Each structure stands twice: as structure tokens, then as C-alpha cells.
Amino acid sequence: MKLLKLVPENTNLDFMRWRNVALVLSLIATVASISYTVYRGLNLGVDFVGGQLIRVSFAQPIDVEQLRSKVDSLHLGDASISEFGGPKTFQIRLPKPAGNASANAVATRVKQEVEKDYPGARIESVDTVSGKVSEELADNSALAIALAMIGIAIYIWFRFEWQFGVGALLTLAHDIAMTLGFFAFTRLQVDLNVVAAFLTIVGYSLNDTVVIYDRIREDLRKYRKMAILQLINLSLNETLARTVVTSLTVLIALGVLMLIGPEVIFGLAIAIFLGVLIGTYSSIYISAPVLVWLGVKPDSFLKSDEEKAAEAEPA
Amino acid sequence: MLDFPRWKVTLLWLVVAVGILLSIPSLIAGTPYAGSWPRWMPQYKINLGLDLAGGSHLLLEADSADALKQRLQSMEDAVQTELRRDPRIDVGDVSTAGGRISFMVRNPTQVDAAVERLRTLTKPVALTGNRDWDVQVVDSTRIVLTPSPSGTAQALKDAMSVARDVVRRRIDPGGTKEITVVTEGDNRVLVEVPGVENPDELKKLIGQTARLEFKLVDLSANPADAQQGRAPPGSQVLPMADGRGFIVVKRRVMVSGDQLTDAKQSFDQNGQPDIDITFNTAGARRFGRVTQENVNKPFAIILDDKVLSAPNINEPILGGRAQISGSFTVQSAHDLAVSLSSGKLPVKLNVIEERSIGPDLGKDSIHKGALASAVGVAAVMIFMLVTYGRFGVYANIALIVNAFLILGVMAMFNATLTLPGIAGFILTIGAAVDANVLINERIREEIRRGRRLLDAVETGYREAMRAIFDANVTHVISAAIMAYFGSGPVRGFAVVLLIGVVTSVFTAVYFTRMLVALWIRRARPRALHI
């Protein structure tokens, strides 16, 4: 059997030649992404702003405008209705009711209205989140993402050198910023599942970076005389086949989940899919060049080995 | 490195076999084969999260103002009871303004004795050296009891654990349902009830504090004052439960719901729903004595500070049994009976988060999730096969074993599978082959460099190990943070990722290495087709 080789043997692509162009592009994209997110805001779900989310599935396809006017006639505040996974399933989103105790009463009225006017309609799920809980969830999510980024950067610093830790942190910041921009642009709803996806990206988009860093460290020890740009190119080429194959397997699995998996976790799946895609790019064009700018040299590791040996010896 | 002694091979296969055995009960659950799994085999099963099984999730928060009020009230009762005991100490009106209990001692020579006796009512707070109430003398005759902060904190903690038990008894009086009731943080209770799609029923049961009190009606009160909300000293104005007016009652509690042993919904002689209650011995004695002393006077039956009814005491009630009537329906009488017999909630609970999921949505999700998993795994396996040939087959065997192991470990720990957990499962499958990709690419590389077969395989596994380790540690860091901060479904996702990291390193590194070693030993290949 002839085996598939997506990446030919002994490639010798000059990745680092484009590093400044790539940097400028990445920088522009990151800044644009962050400013767009700040300007447009994210489409935050009830998990983070409070309110109610009611998912209804109908027996037949229905007229959205009719449903909208019916819900509006209940005078429950600004309701938004959107299709959810098919022409027969909709989600109705309602703002936080003004009073405290009436939150459930609102859901009950919508339920009654829907069940009365649309025979065979089924309430699939109801989420009610108070303002207090949603604030906590938002704070905790932001804190968790920040902690995960810092924790991983510290680990990389600990296992490699400080330059690698900085590289990992910048890579993560880039990946998260780009994914946020995507969510701001597509208006996909950001709920707790999407935050889980962001945390996953923090772990998985760094996968390629870790593998490439490991190879750079190995080559730094092996080829002491090689210029750093040439050495990084060598490491990138050596790991290229693995980068491509692994990213593809993960993307295949996630692509299947996105296309035929449950609708409720579409946001989660697409976020991780995107994160892996961006992570593959940034492991080559952000993680690696950062090492050049931060002055990693062949003796970066050797020196630290000597220092450790010196520390170990009693004075 | 490729040297695998027999015991190691046996051990690895044993782990795999146990993993598969553990996963089977979860896989066949809900299918017609569920009954044919032998009884003597392991029965561990994975729980389905609410988002898959359908059900209701309620997050309740204690109303801390109400907690303080209730604590103040019960301390006031205790103080009054203590001071009336022989030798009696006469005091002026007891005030509870400002969250403190304060009163004058009429006879100045009794102040020290009063302080002494009240101190016995306070308790030390564990680990702090403080007592839960500070007893002080102000202006030589006024005694003031102030709750100490550590006492208040401890009381809230105790109240929460009682509240948790009460909530559980109310939702599940028989103790047979698979419900989750746990305290969260300082002042919250999380309730998860699978299969209950409409949480309104639950909220009705939990919503009532169910503090039942019997108090004498104060006939001396001026009705006009009562309308203004003013009551004579030692009395209070309470609203009627049906909203029709107010009634003035003595502050002193005759008997309270704490002294009930049972409450049942029943019917009175007119066929109206009512509740039969039974007092415990102490309660029965006290109820008997008070009714004896107050024949022909009305008393009020008070629930959560609202008067249900105020019947006349026609004769002493000595048997320890009584009926509570009010304008009940059969359902509301039944709910109240359940609430009364499960005990009062030590603190009022408010719903701050509520989620309910219908059973069909969950079934649909499981169906789609299982399909996506199967298709995803198949696609990844085909890709691995065409890329690495024989080594791809080994990676694929490891992949399948890994899937079983994840399920097996989850079953063993009785972990909960949630909808995001399914995504975690697919992600783990996709990412688990990364270890094999790293190893196989490295072997290819070493062969290209001209190493001999055995040497190349050995170096491939050894050199790839570092990157595999570091990459997995980063996954563990993010998954652990997610498990710590996440709630419900998200935590389910993190748990699958954590388990998946461990099992995938086992299968992708150790298990495939054994398969490769056994093959090399058996076939003694000259060249490697990879």
C-alpha cells in the first residue's frame, strides 16, 4: 500500500523570510479584531447578561413575524426571536424582568401563549438567569481564561526559557483575540459553552507551539553554530508534516461535530475549530519569530545548564 | 525499550480489559440489552447530565436579611423563656430594633443574675474563641444581646446545611429519587432534579419557609391602632393569609412547628381540605397546658408571618393532635403538609438561576452526539490508516481502546456526561492521535537519517515523549482551571478532557509501543513501511 504523504519529505521552506510581513499582518488583524470587538460588542447570551431564553420546537414550520408579534403583544420587554438549528425550532430571548420574583411568571406566560396558538408546539428548554448570577459567571469566565493563559505561559517558561514563555503568551493572546473578533463579527451567541471553548483553545492552540518549541530546543543543542533564523526554519520544516497531520485530524473530528452534532454545542465546536486553525498559523508565525526578537541563541540553554550546575555545587 | 516482558504485556491487556468491562453498562443502558448484562459483572454507570437527561436545575440563594431576622426571633423566644423560669426575673418590654435584643431589668439587684443566666444561652463558636452572642449591661439596668459576626457566620453555615436537608426532604419525601441537593459557596443551595421538566412544582415546595406558630390573639388591642400597624407592647400586628385585614397577636409563641412529628392533608367535617398535625410529647404537653389556661379565647395559627385562621379554643386540646384549616385546595393543603412535616426552612431561599430542559432535546442531543462521535472517529481512523499504514492501524486500535477507557474511567468515578462533554470526547479522540503522529513522524525522520529499524523506532518513541508530555500538561492546566471555575455542563466538559489526557497518553504511548514491540519480535521485519 502506498502511504499518503501530505507533506513531501525533506521540505526546505523559508518560513522566516516572511516573518516581518506576517508580523505586521498579524498585528493589524489582532488590533482590528480587538477594536471591532470593543466597538460592536459580543452577542452575549443570558448566561452573562441575565434574562430568559426559551427554546421551542413547533410541529410545522411557522411564520416568524407572526410569532414575534404574538410575543410582543405580551409586553414583556424587548424580545428577540431567532431560528435555532432548523425552520421548526426557535429561541425566544427575553430581557430580565424588572421585578425580582416575576422572572418565572414571564416564562410561564410565553409558554401558555405558544402552547395555545400552536398545537403540537413543545417547550424544549427554559433558562432563567438573574443579574447577580450572570455577573458572577461573566467575571469568573474572564478570570478563568486569564488564569489559564498565565498558568500555561509560566509552565512553558519553567520547562523552556523565559523567551519561550513570552512567545506562548503572545501566541495565546493573538489566538483569543482573533476568535473573539470572529464571534463579534458573526454575532454568534457567546454562552458558557463558548467560554469553555476559549479555555480549550488556550490549551489546544498551544499544542503546535509546544511541539515546535521542543524541536527548536533540541536543534539549538544539536547545531550550536547555526544561525538562529536558519535553525528555526529547520525546526519548522522538520515538524511540518506532524503539524499538518495533527491539525487535520483535530479539524476533521471537530468539523464532523460542527456539521452533524447537536445544535446546542455548535458555538463550542466552531470556536475550537477556529482556534485550532488560528493556532496552527500562529505557532509558525508568532511563536517562532518571537524567539528571534527576544534573542534566543544556541547558548540560551547551555548557559542555563551551566548555571544550574553552578548552583548545585556548594559554594 | 522495545523489550516487553510477559508480565508487562499481561498487565497492559488487563487494564484494557477492565476499561472495556467498566464501559459496557453505560453503553447498553437504555437499550434492550441492558437486562442481559450479568449481575456479577461491574455495574458502574456514567450519569447523564441534566442537559442530556432532561430535568430542572435551580440555584437558590439564602435571603440573609431573613436569616438574621429568624435568628433574632428565636433568640428572643429563648430569652423570654429563660427569664420566666423560676426564680423569675421581671423585665420591661423586649425590643429587637437594630438587630439587637434589649430590655430593662425591673429589679436592679437581679441584673447580674440575669446576665449570668442569659450567658448560658450563648454558645462558643468553633475555632474562634468568641461566643455567638455578646451579652452586655448598658446604663446599669439595661441588658443588650448583640449577635457576634463569627456567630452570625456560623449560624448561616448551620442554617444552610439544615436548609439543604429540608429542601431534599420536601422534593423527595421518600428518599428514592436521584436528585442532587448540595450547598454551594456560603449561602447557596443547588438543586438538580432529572426528569422534572416544569420547575414550578419544585419552586412551590421550596418557596415556603413553612414556619408554623400558634400565638394567642391579643383582645386588648385597639382595632384602629391595629389598622395603623401599631400594637400594644408585647404584641404584634400580622396580616391575614387571605389578605382580608389584620389581626393583633401576642408576640410570645405558644407552640411552634418545630414540635410537630407529623402533618397530613385531610378533610374537615364540612368536606373542606385541611391539615392534620400531631405534636411530639413536649409540644403536646405545652399545647394542652396553654389551651387549658385560655379556654374561650381565640388563638392564631400563623404560617410564615401570615395568619391562616384564628379559631376559638372551645375546650382544652390534650391529645397532641390538631387540625389546621384555612382556605386550602387539596393541592395546597398537601404541599403545606409536606412542607410542615419536612421542617421549616431556617432561612428563606430565593431562586437566582433556573434552567429546565425537556427530555426530547436531551435524546436528540445524545443521538446526534453519538452519530457525530462515530463519524468523527471513523474519519480520523481512515486518515491515520492511509497516512501511516501498519502504524496507523496500531494508532487506530489505541484510539478505540482509548474511547472505551474514557467511558470506563468515567463510569468508575460515577462522572456525569454532559452535552459539552460529548464535544470533549470528540476533541480528545481527534487530539489523542497527535501523540501517535508525533511518534510516527519522528520514526520516519530517523529512518530518513539512516538509522536502523529498531534504533529508529526506539528513538522515535523516546524523542517524541518530551513534546507529548509538555503538550498534555498545557491541556491539563486549562482543563483543571475549567473544572474549578466551570458550572454543570462546562465542568462535565473539563472532566472528559482531564480523563482523556491521561487515558490517551496511556494508549497512544504505552499501548502502541507494546503492539509495535510484539510485532517486531514476531515478524522480525527488515524494513519499515511507514
What pLDDT digit, counting tens, does each position of A124-164 carry? 888 888 888 888 888 888 898 899 999 999 999 998 889 99
Q: What is the pLDDT of residues B182-195, one digit of tens each?
A: 888 888 999 888 87
Our CA-based measurement puts residue A95 at a distance from the nearest CA of chain B, in whole angstroms, of 14
Find out if CATH 3.30.1240 is the number for domain B65-152. Answer: yes
Q: Please report the pLDDT score of residue B48 as a whole number.
A: 85
B391 close to A (CB below 8 A): no
Q: Please report the pLDDT score of residue B281 as a whole number.
A: 86
| CATH architecture under which domain B6-54+358-523 falls | Up-down Bundle (1.20)
Based on the domain organization, do A69 and A157 belong to the same domain?
no
> For residue B100, what are the contacts with CB-CB under 8 A and spacing of at least 6?
B144, B145, B146, B147
Asked which of A105, A129, A153 is the last residue of a domain, the reply is: A129
Whether A246 and B433 lie within 8 Å, measured CB to CB: yes
Question: H helices within B264-418, ranges in order?
Answer: 281-293, 330-341, 359-388, 390-412
Asked which of A129, A163, A194 is the last residue of a domain, the reply is: A129
B380 close to A (CB below 8 A): yes
A96 close to B (CB below 8 A): no
Q: Are strands B47-48 and B416-417 parallel, antiparallel or unpaired?
A: parallel
Mean pLDDT confidence for A251-279: 90
Q: Please report the pLDDT score of residue B342 as a whole number.
A: 79
Whether A254 and B426 lie within 8 Å, measured CB to CB: yes
Based on the domain organization, do A175 and A287 belong to the same domain?
yes
Task: Please name the helix (run of DSSP H) or strand (run of DSSP E) that holds residue B137, with its range, or none.
Answer: strand B133-138
**Average pLDDT over all residues of chain B:** 85
Residue of B nearest to A11 (CA): B445
Based on the domain organization, do A68 and A84 belong to the same domain?
yes
Based on the domain organization, do A125 and A232 belong to the same domain?
no
Return the ∠ at Cα A189 (arms to A123 and A73), rounded to 5°: 50
Secondary structure of residue B203 in the 3-state scheme: helix
8 A C-beta contact, residue B260 and residue B212:
yes
Based on the domain organization, do A243 and A104 belong to the same domain?
no
Whether B427 and A214 lie within 8 Å, measured CB to CB: no
B431 close to A (CB below 8 A): yes
Domain assignment present for residue A9? The answer is: no
A315 close to B (CB below 8 A): no
Secondary structure of residue B458 in the 3-state scheme: helix
Based on the domain organization, do A155 and A228 belong to the same domain?
yes
Mean pLDDT confidence for B244-254: 84
pLDDT for B108 beyond 90: no
Q: Please report the pLDDT score of residue A178 as a whole number.
A: 94
- Residue from B444, B470, B472 to probe the interface with A (highest A Cβ count within 10 Å): B470
pLDDT for B337 beyond 50: yes
Split into its structural domains, chain A has a count of: 2
Q: Please report the pLDDT score of residue A278 as a whole number.
A: 93
Based on the domain organization, do A143 and A198 belong to the same domain?
yes
- Give A217-286 as a DSSP string: HHHHHH-TTS-HHHHHHHHHHHHHHHHHHHHHHHHHHHHHHHHHS-GGGHHHHHHHHHHHHHHHHHIIII
8 A C-beta contact, residue B436 and residue A117:
no
Q: What is the pLDDT of residues A185-241, one digit of tens each?
A: 999 889 888 888 888 888 887 888 999 999 999 999 888 888 889 999 999 999 999
Q: Say what the pTM is.
A: 0.79
Share of chain A above pLDDT 90, in %: 32
The domain of A105 spans 51-129
Helix axis angle for B512-523 and B6-28, nearest 10°, is 130
pLDDT for A304 beyond 70: no
Task: Please name the helix (run of DSSP H) or strand (run of DSSP E) that holds residue B216, with its range, or none.
Answer: strand B212-216
Among residues 96-155 of chain B, which lie with CB inside 8 Å of chain A? none
Residues of chain A in contact with residue B487, where contact means CB-CB under 8 angstroms, are 137, 192
Correct CATH for B159-355 of 3.40.350.10, 1.10.10.10, 1.10.3720.10, 3.30.1360.200:
3.30.1360.200
pLDDT for B177 beyond 80: no
Domain assignment present for residue A6? The answer is: no
Distance CA B371, CA B120 (A): 67
Q: Which of A130, A147, A242 is opposite residue B438, by nearest beta carbon?
A: A242
pLDDT for B154 beyond 90: no
Q: What is the pLDDT of residues B288-322, one digit of tens each?
A: 888 888 888 888 888 888 888 888 888 888 888 88
Distance CA B433, CA B344 (A): 56
pLDDT for A301 beyond 80: no
Residues of chain B in contact with residue A99, where contact means CB-CB under 8 angstroms, are none
Based on the domain organization, do A235 and A274 belong to the same domain?
yes
A71 close to B (CB below 8 A): no
- Residue from A214, A249, A268 to probe the interface with B (highest B Cβ count within 10 Å): A249
- Other beta carbons within 10 Å of B217: 20
**Average pLDDT over all residues of chain A:** 85
Q: What is the pLDDT of residues B420-472, one digit of tens each?
A: 888 888 888 877 888 999 999 999 889 888 888 888 999 999 999 988 998 89
The strand pairing partners of B265, in sequence order, are B275
Helix axis angle for B200-207 and A103-117, nearest 10°, is 150
8 A C-beta contact, residue A134 and residue A47:
yes
Count of CB pairs separated by less than 8 Å, A with B = 229
**Cα distance between the two ends of chain B:** 20
Based on the domain organization, do A138 and A82 belong to the same domain?
no
Mean pLDDT confidence for A112-128: 83
Mean pLDDT confidence for B30-38: 77
Based on the domain organization, do A285 and A182 belong to the same domain?
yes
Whether A148 and B371 lie within 8 Å, measured CB to CB: no
**Cα-flanking dihedrals φ and ψ of residue A176, to 5°?**
-65, -40
- Check which CATH number belongs to the domain holding A30 and give it: 1.20.1640.10
Q: How confident is the model at residue A166 (pLDDT cuts 50, 70, 90)?
A: very high
Residues making up chain B, counted from first to last = 530
Distance CA A230, CA A154 (A): 27
Nearest to A202 by CA among A246, A163, A254, A148: A148
- Other beta carbons within 10 Å of B200: 16
Domain assignment present for residue A5? The answer is: no
Residues of chain B in contact with residue A192, where contact means CB-CB under 8 angstroms, are 486-487, 489-490
Domain assignment present for residue A224? The answer is: yes
Distance CA B434, CA A148 (A): 22
Whether A133 and B486 lie within 8 Å, measured CB to CB: no
Domain assignment present for residue A8? The answer is: no
Domain assignment present for residue A80? The answer is: yes
Domain assignment present for residue A241? The answer is: yes
Q: How confident is the model at residue A1 (pLDDT cuts 50, 70, 90)?
A: low
Whether A250 and B356 lie within 8 Å, measured CB to CB: no
Domain assignment present for residue A4? The answer is: no
Whether B481 and A144 lie within 8 Å, measured CB to CB: yes
Full strand arrangement of the beta sheet holding B188-194 = A80-83, A89-94, A51-57, A122-129, B349-357, B55-62, B188-194, B180-184
Whether A125 and B357 lie within 8 Å, measured CB to CB: yes
Q: How confident is the model at residue A173 (pLDDT cuts 50, 70, 90)?
A: very high
Residues of chain A in contact with residue B494, where contact means CB-CB under 8 angstroms, are 196, 199
Q: Please report the pLDDT score of residue A25 as a whole number.
A: 93
Q: Please report the pLDDT score of residue A138 as a whole number.
A: 87
Counting Cα atoms < 13 Å in the Cβ hemisphere of B177 gives 17
Domain boundaries, chain B: 6-54+358-523, 65-152, 159-355
CA dist B503 to A169, B19, B31, B376, Å? Answer: 28, 10, 27, 19
Q: What is the pLDDT of residues A45-78, one digit of tens each?
A: 888 888 888 888 888 888 888 888 888 887 777 7
Whether B427 and A155 lie within 8 Å, measured CB to CB: no
With 0-12 / 13-18 / 19 or more C-beta atoms within 10 angstroms meaning exposed / middle / buried, residue B392 is buried
Residues of chain B in contact with residue A195, where contact means CB-CB under 8 angstroms, are 490
Whether B422 and A10 lie within 8 Å, measured CB to CB: no
pLDDT for A315 beyond 50: no
> For residue B285, what are the contacts with CB-CB under 8 A and spacing of at least 6?
none
Nearest to B185 by CA among B344, B69, B96, B60: B60
Residues of chain A in contact with residue B434, where contact means CB-CB under 8 angstroms, are 207, 246, 249-250
Secondary structure of residue B219 in the 3-state scheme: coil
Nearest to A235 by CA among A12, A45, A1: A12
Among residues 15-54 of chain A, which lie with CB inside 8 Å of chain B? none
Whether A130 and B353 lie within 8 Å, measured CB to CB: yes
Residues of chain B in contact with residue A155, where contact means CB-CB under 8 angstroms, are 473-474, 477
Residues making up chain A, counted from first to last = 315
Our CA-based measurement puts residue B387 at a distance from the nearest CA of chain A, in whole angstroms, of 5
B490 close to A (CB below 8 A): yes
With 0-12 / 13-18 / 19 or more C-beta atoms within 10 angstroms meaning exposed / middle / buried, residue B352 is buried
Question: H helices within B145-269, ranges in order?
Answer: 149-171, 200-207, 223-227
pLDDT for B208 beyond 60: yes
Among residues 446-475 of chain B, which lie with CB inside 8 Å of chain A? 448, 463, 466-467, 470-471, 473-475
Q: Please report the pLDDT score of residue A310 as a whole number.
A: 54
- Give B67-104 as a DSSP string: HHHHHHHHHHHHHHHHHHSSSP--B---B-GGG-EEEE
Q: Which three cell numbers stand for residue A69?
A: 408579534
Based on the domain organization, do A222 and A84 belong to the same domain?
no
Residues of chain A in contact with residue B199, where contact means CB-CB under 8 angstroms, are 104
For B295-333, b/e burial (b = at least 16 CB within 10 A) is eeebbbbbbbebbbbbeebeeebeebebebbbebeeebb
Mean pLDDT confidence for A15-19: 88
Based on the domain organization, do A189 and A106 belong to the same domain?
no
Contacts 24+ apart (CB under 8 A), B19-25: B19/B401, B19/B404, B19/B405, B19/B408, B19/B409, B19/B503, B20/B401, B20/B404, B20/B408, B21/B408, B22/B407, B22/B408, B22/B409, B22/B411, B22/B412, B23/B404, B23/B405, B23/B407, B23/B408, B23/B411, B25/B411
Mean pLDDT confidence for A239-251: 90
Our CA-based measurement puts residue B18 at a distance from the nearest CA of chain A, in whole angstroms, of 27
8 A C-beta contact, residue B91 and residue B102:
no
